[in-house]
Amino acid sequence: MSLFWDVQDFVREVNRVTTFQELSELMSSMSKMLGFDYFALVHHVELVAPEVIDIENYPSGWREMIIERKYTSDDPILVACEHTNVGFRWSDIHRWISLSKRQKEILDGARTAGIGEGFTVPVHIPGEYAGSCSFSLRLNRRFDDSTMPAAQFVGCFGFEAARRVLHAQRLEAGKETPALPRLTPRQLDCVVLAAAGKSDWDAAQLLGISDQTVHQHIEDAKRRYGVATRLQLVVRALFDGQLTFRDIVH
């Protein structure tokens, strides 16, 4: 029978969860239904950082190891997420990355903890931490390719539910989502071109406005961020996700 109906039931249920605990239980039972043993719904930042998504049911000890040895930024599965935007099998990451010594150590560590093959759905949302949802098997269990399409859906909807719960918790704690300085589209146009190394004059030609206006947009943007230089402006806009690297390199 098609897993589709299970996925549809899951979507309905996951839209109703209000706590990380409920979400964790639902993800746990859904990953079992898909034939997996473990799941991990995470933001790709050090897991001790405040206000991040971090829900998983890995064998005991593995999460502690990740935190203690600061594996997150080098974890080859998470690094592979930067190279693709659809779900991938862990054994396929060699397509994008050649493993460093430390990355081999991380994969060996996971195996020692009893974790075998897995499938990870990357989640890229502009202006937010990169994240992902992974499903994995106990060591030596065989991976069933036919579950990948359903896992893709479950990963996306699961992650969205986690975002929603996180947001609600912030509101409840009286914290607004941090108010970042917002740049106007025109200011951003000018920042993109400045980041690409264009002079005010070049930018003016490209945008069909005067170079004084370009200069003014950049100055206004710097004031909104409270920074002194163009470089700082570009770095801040990149960090906040108002700019993405694609805006600059394309």
Partner 1 sequence: MVAVITSNNRAKYREQLNQMHRDRKKVFVDRWKWSVPVVDGQYEIDQFDTDDAVYLLGLDRLTHTHLSSVRLLPTTRPYLLGSLFDELCEEAPPESDDTWEITRYCEAPEWPKPSARAAGDKISIALVEFALLHGISRYVCVTHAAMLSQVLAEGWECEPLGLPKEINGESLMAIAMKVSTATLQLLRQRYGERYPVIELEARAEAA
> What does the binding site for partner 1 look like in residue numbers (CB under 8 A)?
2-5, 7-8, 11, 15, 85-87, 123-126, 128, 149-150, 152-153, 156-157, 159-160, 163, 182-183, 185-186, 188-189, 192-193, 206-207, 247, 250
Write down the least CB distance from residue 218 to partner 1, Å: 13
Write down the least CB distance from residue 201 to partner 1, Å: 16
CB closer to partner 1, 71 vs 135 = 135
* SS3 labels along the chain: CCCHHHHHHHHHHHCCCCCHHHHHHHHHHHHHHCCCCEEEEEECCCCCCCCCCEEECCCCCHHHHHHHCCCCCCCHHHHHHHHCCCCEEHHHHHHCCCCCHHHHHHHHHHHHCCEEEEEEEEECCCCCCCEEEEEEEECCCCCCHHHHHHHHHHHHHHHHHHHHHHHHHHHHCCCCCCCCCCCCHHHHHHHHHHHCCCCHHHHHHHHCCCHHHHHHHHHHHHHHHCCCCHHHHHHHHHHCCCCCHHHHHC
CB closer to partner 1, 9 vs 108 = 9
Write down the least CB distance from residue 241 to partner 1, Å: 12
Write down the least CB distance from residue 102 to partner 1, Å: 28
CB closer to partner 1, 82 vs 247 = 247
CB closer to partner 1, 20 vs 157 = 157
CB closer to partner 1, 14 vs 110 = 14
